[in-house]
Structure 1
Amino acid sequence: MQAEPAAAARAMPHARVALLTAVTMLAFAGNSILCRLALKGTAIDAASFTLARVASAAAALWLILLVRQGPRRLAGGGSWPSALALFAYAAAFSYAYLHLSAGTGALLLFGAVQATMTGYGLYVGERLRAWQWLGLALALGGLAWLVLPGLAAPPPGSSLLMIVAGIAWGIYSLRGRGAADAVATTAGNFARAVPPALALALLMHAQRSLDGAGLACALVSGALTSGLGYVVWYAVVPQLRAATAATVQLSVPVIAAAGGLALLGEAMSLRLAVSAAAVLGGIALVIAGKQR
C-alpha cells in the first residue's frame, strides 16, 4: 500500500477509523481470495483477469474523482514508471495465483513488499536496532523456509512470480510516498497501466479464455477491493500513527489464509503456519523498532 497523502485530514471518530481500517484490510485480503477463486474455480485466464482488474480499477477511481472534484478539475496524475511497476505487480500477482493458495500467496507478497521497503531504507541510510535486525532475519528466514524444496513447498515458479509482484508493489509504494493527492495519483497510474495490460492480453491471445464468473471476480477485485479499497485506505491512514498503519497490515495474510480455508477449501499446512508466524512476527519486530 502506498504511503498516506501529504495533506492532513480532518479527525474521524475512533469507532469509524477502526471500522474503515477493518474494511480496508478485508478488501486487500479479498484481492488474493478473488484472484485465486477466479483462476482456480473458473475458466478465465491470468492475462484477461489482469486486464479486467486494472481497467475496472482505473474506471472506478476516475468515477470517484469525477464525483468528488467535477469534470473541470480532473487532471492526470501518476507517472509511467509507477504505472509500469503497478502493471508488473498485477500481472505477476495473477500468474502466481494459478498455482498458489490464497494464504501462501498473500504471505509471499507481503514479505517481499516489506523486505523491499526495508532494504530501500537501509540503502538510503536508515539504521536498524539489534531487535530490528533480528526481526528482519526472522522474516527472511520464514520466507526461505516457506519456499524450501519439499512435499509441502509451493511451486517455485509461482513463488518467484509472487515475490516479483511484492518487489514491484514495494517500488510502487516507495514512488508514491508523499503524493499530494493519492487518489488522483493512483487513478492516473491505473489508467496508464491499462495499455501494457492490454498488450499482455493480446500477446497471450492463444491462451485467452473468458468466463462470466471469472470476469465478475476480476471486476470486483478491480473496482471494489482495489479501487475503492485504496480510496478508503487513503482516507483512514492519516488518522493512524505510521507504526499502527504498518502493523494493521500484518492482518492481511492472516485474513487471506482464513478466507482460503473457509471459501476455497484450502488446507493450512504446518510449513505455512510456521512461516507465517516467523514472517509476521519478524516484521512486527521491525515495525516496533521504528515506533520506538
Structure 2
Amino acid sequence: MSTTTASPARRAPDSFAMLLMVGLCAIWGLQQVAIKTTNVALPPVFQAGLRSAIASVLVWAWARSRGTPLFRDDGTLGAGLLAGVLFAAEFVCIFLGLTLTSASRIAVFLYTAPCFTALGLHWFVDGERMRRIQWLGIGVAFAGIALAFADGFLHPGAGSAATPGAGATHGSTLAGAAGDALGVLAGIAWAATTVVVRGTRLAHTSASKTLFYQLAVSAAVLLALALGLGQMRVETVTPLALASLAYQAVVVAFVSYLLWFWLLTRYIASRLSVFSFLTPLFGVTFGVLLLGESFSTRFLVAALLALSGIALVNAPAKRAAG
C-alpha cells in the first residue's frame, strides 16, 4: 500500500459531516443493545454472518436500482477482498475475545482503532497528516474511553462470558490477556480496513461497491466459522430478537455503513474516525435507557474527555501570521 497523489482531495469535516458522524455513532452504540437482544435467538458468530449476508443483498439491490456496477473489473478486486477479510477478522476477534475477557475491556481495546487509523493514514495516505494537537486530541479521547470502562480493569471478571472456578486464577489471567490481545487485534483490523479503503483503488470506487466487498466476504467467512463452531442454529425466536436482527442488518450494516463509506470519499478519514470514540459511550447510554443498566459520575467525566479530544482533532489549524 502506498500513498497516492491522485486520490480525490478530501476536506476537513464540516458541521453536516460532524452531525452525521454523531448520528452514526448513536446507531452503532444502539447496536450493542440489539446484539444482546438477538443473542437469545442466534449465536453471536452466526448472528454476525447472517447480518452481513442480509445487508450484502440490500447493497446489491440498492446498487442495481441506481445503475451502480458492482462486478465490473476496475482493479479493486484485490483491495476489496482484503478489506472484506479484515472486516470479518474484526468481528471474529471481538466475538472470540468476549469469551475470554469482559465486555468493558474489549470495548477499551477495540477503541484503540482510531489511534491505529490515524497512524496508518498518516504513514500511507497523502492529505491525512496529523498535527501535534490532533495526536493530543486522540490521546485525550482514548483516555475518556479508558476512564468510562475502568471497572473492567479494576474488576476483570465483571461482564465476562464465563466465570472461572476456584483455583483457575492463573488460567483466567492467561485467558484474560488473550482476550485483551484479541480486542487490540480487532481495533487494528478495523483501522486497517479504513486505511485500505483510503489508500488503494477503493478510494476511487463507489461507496456501494466498497461496502459490498466487505459485507459479501465477511458473510462467507463468518457463516463458515459459525458452521465450524457449531453455531449454525436458531434458538428461541422472539419478535424483539427479529426486530433487533433487522436493525443490525438494515440500519447498521446497510444504511449506516453506506453513509460511512460515502463520508470517506469526501472528508479526511482520520478526523472522521475519531468520532467513533462516541460509540461505546452511546452504547452505555442506551444500556441505561433501554436495559436498566447504571452509570456513574465518572462516566460523565469520561464523556467530556472524549468530546474534548474530538474537538481538538477537528480544530482548524492556526494560520501563519503575516
Structure 1 CA distance for aligned equivalents of residues 273 and 262 of structure 2: 15
Which of 276, 290, 302 is the equivalent residue of 1:263?
A: 290
Q: Which moved more, 1:231-240 or 1:128-137?
A: 231-240
Gaps of 5+ in 2: 1-6, 10-14, 161-175
How many residues of Structure 1 are paired with residues of Structure 2 in the alignment?
A: 276
Give the aligned partner of residue 138 of structure 1. Answer: 140
Find 2:155's aligned residue among 144, 151, 154: 151
Once the two structures are TM-superposed, the CA of residue 206 in structure 1 deviates from its matched residue by: 6.3
Deviation at 1:162, TM superposition (A): 3.9
TM-score (norm 2): 0.67
Corresponding residue of 1:11? none
Residue equivalent to 1:80: 81
Q: Residue 115 of structure 1 corresponds to which residue in structure 2? A: 115
**1:201: how far off?**
0.6
Partners in 2 of 1:170 and 1:28 — Cα distance? 16
SS in 2 for 1:81: helix
Please give the alpha-carbon distance, in whole angstroms, between the structure 1 residues aligned to 2:304 and 2:207: 32
For residues 223 and 28 of structure 2, the distance between their equivalents in structure 1, rounded to whole angstroms, comes to 24
Query: Which one-letter code corresponds to 2:197 in the other structure?
Result: G
Higher mean alpha-carbon deviation, 216-225 vs 206-215, is at: 206-215
SS at match of 1:212: coil
Measured on the aligned residues, the alpha-carbon RMSD in Å equals 4.0
**Paired-residue identity, %:** 23
Contact 1:179 1:185 in 2 (8 A): no
Q: Is the 8 A contact 1:142 1:276 kept in 2?
A: yes
Relative to structure 2, which stretch is displaced further, 132-141 or 232-241? Answer: 232-241
Which structure 2 residues correspond to residues 29-108 of structure 1 after superposition, within 5 A? 29-39=29-39, 42-69=40-67, 73-75=69-71, 79-95=80-96, 108=109
Amino acid at match of 1:165: A
The 8 Å contact of residues 121 and 195 in structure 2, kept in 1 or not, is answered as: no
CA distance in 2, matches of 1:62, 1:238: 19
Contact between 2:117 and 2:273, CA under 8 Å: does it hold in 1? no
Q: Which amino acid aligns with 1:49?
A: Q
Change (3 A) 1:260 1:204: same
Judge conservation of contact 2:86–2:193 (CA < 8 Å) in 1: yes
| CA–CA separation in structure 2 for the residues paired with 1:142 and 1:23 | 20
What secondary structure sits across from 2:155 in the alignment? coil
Where in structure 2 are the equivalents of 1:158-173 lying within 5 Å?
A: 160-173=181-194
Shift of residue 149 of structure 1?
Answer: 3.1
1:141 and 1:229 mapped to 2: Cα distance?
A: 26
Q: Judging by fraction of residues, say which structure has more helix.
A: 1
User: CA distance change for structure 1 residues 121 and 225 in 2, over 3 Å: closer, same or farther?
Assistant: closer
* Distance in 1 separating the partners of 2:109 and 2:30: 16
**Shift in Å, 1:124:** 4.6
TM-score normalised by structure 1 residue count: 0.73
Distance 1:53-1:290 versus aligned 2 partners, 3 A rule: farther
What residue number does 2:251 align with?
Answer: 224
Q: 1:204 corresponds to which residue?
A: 229
| Partner amino acid, structure 1, of 2:66 | R
User: Partner residue of 2:315?
Assistant: 288
Q: Does the CA-based 8 Å contact 1:50-1:218 persist in structure 2?
A: no
Matches of 1:267 and 1:186, distance apart in 2: 35
Matched, 1:193 2:218: yes
CA distance in 2: counterparts of 1:278 and 1:18, whole angstroms: 17
Aligned-residue offset at 1:80? 1.8
| Residue pair 1:26, 1:252 contacting (<8 A) in 2 also | yes
Cα 1:112/1:242, change in 2 over 3 Å: closer
Residue 251 (structure 1) shift: 4.0
Q: 1:179 to 1:218 in 2, by over 3 A?
A: farther
Using the TM superposition, give the Cα deviation of residue 69 of structure 1 relative to its aligned residue in structure 2, in angstroms.
1.2
